[in-house]
Chain A
Amino acid sequence: MPQTKAEPYPDAFIKGLWRENPVFVMLLGMCPVLAVSNTVLNALSMGLAATFVLVMSCALVSLLRRFIPKQVRIATFIIIIATFVTMVDFAIQAISLDVYNALGAFIALIVVNCIILGRAEAYASKNDPVRAVIDAAGMGLGFTLALLCLGSVRELLGFGTFLGFNVFGPHFEGWSVLILPPGGFFTLGCWLLLISWMNKRKARLAESEAA
């Protein structure tokens, strides 16, 4: 692992979006990724909810990091994360019942999203609050971005709509398999394939340039 102490702010932010993208590179938090990425709106709401929880929990963990004994740190992190998840749960109910019904149990399950516990443990508990927040924001947006990537493909091909607007006209017959759980695996696989191909190609280009 690179030395995180002197990491510049832009790096702390950008790495979550691309180089260490929690979904596409680290393959964390697959459960909500596969489950609620069937439409763009669900993906976006889930991503933003998780980002809020991630940023707030990391900020609090980082602020309290000197007072938390190592032996109870995981328990403490879970209490902190659960608090913000409960807040998000109420907030979503207040904003829109439709979104709340669509996300269902997955809001409560943000508590056990390993990206959040992972960032709290690996980063926020070792860095100052500003860096922790920047890192959390980057990771959260990276998570949202990945969800959107899956959500747009699945909604476009599965329902023929984007954010509920009809794209392909009334005669489009959706591929309902993409809306179902197997479609989530399929779409994720395609994205991972694309990204690994792009990374390989970039490496090859860099190699040929160096030669």
Chain B
Amino acid sequence: MSSDVRPGEPAVSSIKMIRTLAGVAVISGFLIVLTVKATEARIETNKREALEAAVFAVLPGATTQATFELRDGAFVRVDSPTPGFDRVYAGYGPDGELVGVAIEAAGMGYAGTVRALYGYDPETQTVVGLQVLESLETPGLGDRIGKDPAFLANFEQLDVSLNEAGDALANPITLVKAGEKTEMWEVEGISGATISSTAVASMLDARSAEILPLVMRHLDELKEAR
């Protein structure tokens, strides 16, 4: 290690320091802009493909899909999503029949926002699949919400039917301890990852209560749009 200032070295003026820092900042700005421009399209494609794959994964039997945006209280089919609008993804079977609707939900987990996509079957009014899109949960513990087969099995047939009036869930989705599930609308948590499991159950509950009444009311738009 050398000492900071050598004897006899002239004092450096502030101007020189500022000039150096500014120069380096310009170089780095240029490099970053270059990288962003070079990777932008590819990242966009990756994200779209990941989402498309997730839609098919949570809607078993779907072969094609369409994106719908909620504009002025009605679902409008769009080719590319516009930020700022609430949207759902409809999945259709080989004969063009509506298999289900994929809905995105987000909520606060243990270490950050958890984003998930889940499939909803309007016919049986159940959740038919769930995939975690984004989470910062603890590897090996909390991140099992996206990997644990026993936990994900909760979302293959989860009751989310609406009440008589059709404006809320008949039974709120609730989390119970592993092995204590008795009702169709209960989710069995992962022991050791209670906060993460609760996050998934409660974000599903909140999101379903908000969007499912709309989906059911506008089901014909989603069915016929194909």
Residues of A within 8 A of B (CB): 1, 38, 60, 64, 67-72, 75-76, 79-80, 82-84, 86-87, 90-91, 93-94, 96-97, 101, 104-105, 122, 126, 176, 179-180
Chain A residue numbers with a CB within 8 Å of B42 are: 94
Q: Does B43 lie within 8 Å of A94, measured CB to CB?
A: yes
Q: A69-B20, A72-B17, A72-B20 in contact; A104/B39 too (CB < 8 A)? A: no
Chain A residue numbers with a CB within 8 Å of B31 are: 83-84, 87
Q: A68-B20, A70-B12, A72-B17 in contact; A82/B140 too (CB < 8 A)? A: no
Least CB distance, B37 to chain A, in whole angstroms: 10
* Cα–Cα distance between A75 and B36 once the two chains are bound (Å): 23
Q: A97-B46, A104-B136, A122-B1 are in contact. List 14 more A-B contacts (CB 8 A).
A: A1-B1, A64-B24, A70-B5, A72-B20, A76-B21, A76-B24, A79-B24, A79-B25, A87-B31, A87-B32, A93-B43, A180-B139, A180-B140, A180-B141
Least CB distance, A197 to chain B, in whole angstroms: 29
User: What interface size band does chain B fall in?
Assistant: 20 to 34
The answer to whether B4 has its CB under 8 Å from any CB of chain A is: yes
Chain B residue numbers with a CB within 8 Å of A122 are: 1
- B 23-49 contacts with A by CB, 8 A: 23-25, 27-28, 31-32, 35-36, 39, 42-43, 46-47
Residues of B within 8 A of A (CB): 1-2, 4-5, 12, 16-17, 20-21, 23-25, 27-28, 31-32, 35-36, 39, 42-43, 46-47, 50, 134, 136, 139-141
Q: A69-B17, A71-B12, A104-B136 in contact; A94/B25 too (CB < 8 A)? A: no
Q: Does B35 lie within 8 Å of A90, measured CB to CB?
A: yes
Closest-by-CB residue of A relative to B132 is A101
Partner of A97, one of B20, B28, B47: B47
Q: Does B1 lie within 8 Å of A67, measured CB to CB?
A: no
Chain A residue numbers with a CB within 8 Å of B50 are: 97
Q: Does B21 lie within 8 Å of A72, measured CB to CB?
A: yes
Least CB distance, B41 to chain A, in whole angstroms: 9
Chain A residue numbers with a CB within 8 Å of B4 are: 70
Q: Does A86 lie within 8 Å of B47, measured CB to CB?
A: no
Q: Does A38 lie within 8 Å of B140, measured CB to CB?
A: yes
Least CB distance, B1 to chain A, in whole angstroms: 7
Chain B residue numbers with a CB within 8 Å of A93 are: 39, 43, 46
Chain A residue numbers with a CB within 8 Å of B140 are: 38, 176, 179-180
Least CB distance, B151 to chain A, in whole angstroms: 15
Q: Does A94 lie within 8 Å of B47, measured CB to CB?
A: no
* Cα–Cα distance between A110 and B156 once the two chains are bound (Å): 40
* Cα–Cα distance between A158 and B31 once the two chains are bound (Å): 40
* Cα–Cα distance between A82 and B35 once the two chains are bound (Å): 13
Q: Does B17 lie within 8 Å of A71, measured CB to CB?
A: yes
Q: Does A69 lie within 8 Å of B47, measured CB to CB?
A: no
Q: Does B32 lie within 8 Å of A83, measured CB to CB?
A: yes
Partner of B139, one of A38, A64, A91: A38
Closest-by-CB residue of B relative to A88 is B35
Partner of A91, one of B21, B24, B27, B39: B39
Minimum-distance CB pairs A-B, first 6: A83-B28, A94-B39, A94-B42, A179-B140, A69-B12, A87-B35
* Cα–Cα distance between A104 and B136 once the two chains are bound (Å): 7
Chain B residue numbers with a CB within 8 Å of A71 are: 12, 17
Partner of A90, one of B1, B39, B139: B39
Least CB distance, B92 to chain A, in whole angstroms: 26
Least CB distance, B5 to chain A, in whole angstroms: 7
Q: A67-B20, A91-B39 in contact; A179/B139 too (CB < 8 A)? A: yes
Chain B residue numbers with a CB within 8 Å of A179 are: 139-140
